[in-house]
Amino acid sequence: MDEITATKYIFTHDDEIAMGILEALKSSDIDEAKKEAFLGAGVHLGASSGLNEIYSVLKGIHQKDYTAEVAQLADLFSVTYDPAMIQIAIDDMITHLEGGEVEQDHVIPVEVVDATNVDQYKGFGDAVSQ
């Protein structure tokens, strides 16, 4: 159990993976003692992409009730970004392929979406709500 309780931070690059973690914690396929160890460890679960399904969980309106699981996490959030960052990445790639210089530590800001501000964001995909 030590390796389970040692996990404090999980960041996935896709909201669907975070939803898979929540679904696994809700299922009966995982030993209850392992679930309790994981949820009692104070895990911060972060994801990205702005999926309506995770937004529904953050709003507390998902068709499945994840309230108990979310309450035991230290944090649950998703990050979203300006779609223009994709164009910036493409421009950087073209510059590199053409032999130009590209900034190595090119950071494009993201927005953190959590239960306190999720109503300010519009996600993508089918909303999953009660």
pTM of the model: 0.81
| pLDDT < 50: residue spans in the chain | none
Residue 124, pLDDT score = 85
pLDDT at 127: 67
Three-state SS for 110?
strand
Beta carbons of 115 and 54 less than 8 angstroms apart: no
Q: Can you give the pLDDT at residue 11?
A: 94
Q: What pLDDT does 129 receive? A: 62
The three-class DSSP label of residue 74 is coil
> Do 38 and 65 form a contact (C-beta atoms < 8 A)?
no
119 DSSP 8-state letter:
G
Which residues fall within 8 angstroms of residue 52, CB to CB, at 6 or more apart?
123, 124, 125, 126, 127, 128
